[in-house]
Structure 1
Amino acid sequence: MKKNFYLFLSLLFVIVAFSGCTGDISEPIQDNVDNNITEETTLHNETVPEGYIGIYTVEDFDYLRNSSTGQYILMNDIDMSNIDDWDGINFQGTFDGNNYEIQNYHFENGFFDTTTNAVISNITISANISKTTYVRDDGTWTNGVGVLANCITTSYSESALSKITNIKIKGEIHHTCGTEFGTIAGVVEPGCKTATVTMSNIVNEAKIYYDEKGCDSVGGVIGGVYQQSSSNEYFPAFDLFNTVNKGDIYVKSEVAYNDGSIIGGILGCGYGNISSCDNYGQINVDCPIAKDNEDNDAGYGKFFICGGIIGQTGPYRNGYPASINSCANYGSIISDNCEYTGGIIGYTVKDYDLSDCGNFASISGVKAGGIQGGGRYLAPLYNCINTGSITGTNQSGAIICDFFSNAPEPQNCYYLNNGVNCVGVKAAFPNVYSIEENQLADSSVINLGDSWSIDSNGIKLKSTIENSKL
């Protein structure tokens, strides 16, 4: 009886199994795929969403060239190792990388040439670039040099918006031409009045080498940010947040660029709202000593400037510096002759606001500061901390190196007591505090506010903890 029961179960299983196999067995099974593409996408989409054109091959990128205002989505990884020529795409549409990768990108400037009012998201570019150039095939010049794009800009419409999000750059780049360079963009140019460029969730892991005569501005993420001449320079039309640089930057140059050479872990030179950005890349600058008799148009010597987050805020071109907050530097700056170095900012030529920033790495230069090297304007620093060693061959400051007597005093700032004064000149401020090594994890001693986390592991920005998930 039991034997007949098991035989019955076996026959029933066979019948059920075959009943589920009707139809053409070669027909693919369609998964239930959500066709809505947003910047939160974390999985590859297996079907092309409605309204999008799928990109499967290098040749398919001609769709973007021929209809630059359309919507496109990458459907697989693209290997460019066997592609000999590439003209950067001028683009004004939507491109969703669908979390795929452009591999072995080896061309002399950006995958995109100039993007205008574009939305670009969810893409990784693995680059191996041996040299760069700002000269296009037709003899015209690019506006900066980048890996993702040479220039990211907007139109003159007041409501125009360019949006770049969820981008990763990997590999190694040798920048060999004297213009702005950044892995995401050489130059960012917001347009008329309230037209805005926003960038978020950016990670650079590529190493950058610059070893030619004279560089303009080099950043781990962006070379320079300059508003267009028709814009309202008092509107901070650039927003950069949740951005991390992990790539080392090596600069070896015999001479500074015309207006000085500027290097930053995140941004070389520029302005805007810069928040929740972290630099882990080491910056090594081998440069000549500045010569005071070699003045540029601004009236000062041609020298090198370097900052862990921003090389120089407030360019001489259009733009308003706006604010810098919740930014941290964990990468050492190594230079004997770099005129100004700072854990967050090397030098500034316009006023701005700075709060909740920290330097946790060693900084060296001619004039070296834990948070800021120097500048024509000094921000009222709030809730900042420096725990790194600061070595200036001329002058050092644990918070600010080159401090003006009439500048605003730092407020609620802390620095590790390692023999360097708070600022480059002997001065004491009632709201700047020297702390000892054993106090770094003591919340009863350090009170930096809600943007910070202090526990037995020490002190960190909450934004740094969030950026570790990128």
Structure 2
Amino acid sequence: MKKALSIVLSIILLLSVVPVVTIGVSAAEDEVLEIRTIADLYSINNNMSGNYRLMNDIDMTEDTAVGGDWDFMGNGWEPLGSDGIYGNIPFMGTFDGNGHKIIGMRINRNTTPSGAGTIYLGLFAKNEGTIQNLGIDETSIVAEGDYSSGICAFNSGTVLNCYNKAAVSSSTYYSYSGGICGYNSGNISNCYNEADISAKYYSGGICGYSKSGEFKNCYNTGIIATDSHMNTPYSGGICGSTESGNIIDCYNIGDITSTIEYSKSSTTAYSSDMTFISYCMLGVSVDQIKAV
């Protein structure tokens, strides 16, 4: 009996001095932070690699109106990752909209902050993580960015199960406008746009310009337009133009126009309808398909 007790005491003593090793992801890394207010949403800037879940619709109508509590320089909402200069610090975590939407988000750049370069406008400036299950409603507006969109100005991550109903427009010289993202090199699936999208250079229902990546199960019903006096403008129901990648099981029923106010002999305007989608699976650029 004494011998057994001695063995038990020895084991207890051993455990008390040997450090416990935890296998797997830490609790902090697993933690999902709940977003309920605009202040909660803006605090994502403090940790752009975190995991977040939207717990309710967020109405920005009054707060991003001129003079509102979250009116940045008179321009409305300051995109996440903007860093006060409309920059593009990437979001690298997970943002789950949880089936909720952003209401009345106003971004209308009339004033440019000191130190700004290329202008990124959207709920997020740039996404390298995952944004999912989120909507931007029809009372929202995004205007006057170089890269502009309802969800994220620039995407090199994953966007899925999202929609945009916010009108997106830009009159800047080289501008990329899209419902889900302005510029893409990532993957977008199960997303749609119902808003009017316009730009001087590249304009698309889902994305203005795509360097690579994949679009799957997406559609557009909004009016898509480019209107330029110097650039070669591109418009597309899904994407204004692409270098490579796939567009799978997508469709467009929105009107598409691409016009030039003033052009040199070498300048041509391009627009794309559903023919663009079938060719894109082969990695063919829009300028090889249909000239208007």
Q: Which residue of 2 aligns with 1:424?
A: 290
Q: Which residue of 2 aligns with 1:170?
A: 103
Q: 1:204 aligns with which of 136, 141, 150?
A: 136
Give structure 2 stretches of 5+ with no counterpart.
Answer: 1-26, 67-74, 113-117, 259-268
Q: 2:33 aligns with which of 95, 102, 105?
A: 95
Instruction: Please state if 1:331 is matched with 2:228.
Output: no
Q: Which residue of 1 aligns with 2:273?
A: 370
Sort the Cα spacing of 1:221 and 1:209 in 2 relative to 1 into closer, same or farther, 3 A.
closer
AA of the residue aligned to 1:250: S
1:192-341 to 2 correspondence within 5 Å?
Answer: 197-205=129-137, 206-211=139-144, 215-226=145-156, 238-251=157-170, 253=171, 255-256=172-173, 260-285=174-199, 287=200, 304-314=201-211, 321-337=212-228, 339-341=233-235
Q: 1:342 aligns with which of 229, 236, 256?
A: 236
Q: How far did 1:117 drift?
A: 3.1
Asked whether the equivalents of residues 86 and 120 of structure 2 are also in contact (C-alpha less than 8 Å), the reply is no
Q: How far did 1:133 drift?
A: 8.4
1:126-137 to 2 correspondence within 5 Å?
Answer: 126-128=59-61, 129=64, 130=66, 131=75
| Structure with more strand by fraction | 1
Asked whether the equivalents of residues 175 and 210 of structure 1 are also in contact (C-alpha less than 8 Å), the reply is yes
AA of the residue aligned to 1:344: I
Name the SS for the 1:281 alignment partner. Answer: coil
Asked whether the equivalents of residues 220 and 238 of structure 2 are also in contact (C-alpha less than 8 Å), the reply is yes
Sort the Cα spacing of 1:401 and 1:70 in 2 relative to 1 into closer, same or farther, 3 A.
closer
Q: How far did 1:222 drift?
A: 0.8
Instruction: Please state if 1:379 is matched with 2:280.
Output: yes
Q: How far did 1:164 drift?
A: 2.8
Which segments of structure 1 move beyond 4 Å, counting only runs of 4 or more? 132-136, 139-142, 371-374
Asked whether the equivalents of residues 224 and 256 of structure 2 are also in contact (C-alpha less than 8 Å), the reply is yes
Asked whether the equivalents of residues 343 and 372 of structure 1 are also in contact (C-alpha less than 8 Å), the reply is no
Once the two structures are superposed, residues 146-175 of structure 1 have per-residue CA deviations (whole angstroms, 9 ceiling, x without a partner) of: xxxx74125xxxxxxx34332411104133
Name the SS for the 1:402 alignment partner. Answer: helix
Distance 1:276 1:202 in 2: 11
Distance 1:400 1:261 in 2: 18
Distance 1:142 1:361 in 2: 30
AA of the residue aligned to 1:380: M
Q: Which residue of 1 aligns with 2:49?
A: 117
Distance 1:135 1:381 in 2: 35
Asked whether the equivalents of residues 347 and 372 of structure 1 are also in contact (C-alpha less than 8 Å), the reply is no
Give structure 1 stretches of 5+ with no counterpart.
Answer: 1-68, 72-91, 145-149, 155-161, 190-196, 227-237, 288-303, 315-320, 383-398, 404-422, 427-470
Flag the structure with more relative contact order, 1 or 2, with Cα contacts below 8 A and sequence separation at least 6: 2
Q: How far did 1:241 drift?
A: 1.3
Aligned-pair RMSD on alpha carbons? Answer: 3.6
Sort the Cα spacing of 1:127 and 1:373 in 2 relative to 1 into closer, same or farther, 3 A.
farther
Asked whether the equivalents of residues 345 and 372 of structure 1 are also in contact (C-alpha less than 8 Å), the reply is no
Identical aligned pairs, as a percentage? 21
Instruction: Please state if 1:352 is matched with 2:253.
Output: no
Sort the Cα spacing of 1:329 and 1:142 in 2 relative to 1 into closer, same or farther, 3 A.
closer
Q: How far did 1:199 drift?
A: 2.1
Distance 2:191 2:43 in 1: 24
Distance 1:216 1:116 in 2: 22
* Number of aligned residue pairs: 228
Q: 2:127 aligns with which of 154, 167, 188?
A: 188
Name the SS for the 2:91 alignment partner. Answer: strand
Distance 2:188 2:176 in 1: 17
Name the SS for the 2:290 alignment partner. Answer: coil
Distance 1:135 1:201 in 2: 19
Q: Which has the larger radius of gyration?
A: 1
AA of the residue aligned to 1:323: E
Asked whether the equivalents of residues 266 and 279 of structure 1 are also in contact (C-alpha less than 8 Å), the reply is yes
Q: How far did 1:200 drift?
A: 1.6
Q: How far did 1:240 drift?
A: 1.6
| Structure with more helix by fraction | 2
Distance 1:247 1:339 in 2: 22
Q: How far did 1:325 drift?
A: 1.0
Q: How far did 1:246 drift?
A: 1.4
Distance 1:335 1:273 in 2: 24
Name the SS for the 1:224 alignment partner. Answer: strand
Distance 2:275 2:46 in 1: 33
Asked whether the equivalents of residues 373 and 402 of structure 1 are also in contact (C-alpha less than 8 Å), the reply is no
Once the two structures are superposed, residues 344-373 of structure 1 have per-residue CA deviations (whole angstroms, 9 ceiling, x without a partner) of: 011223x21111110011011131111487
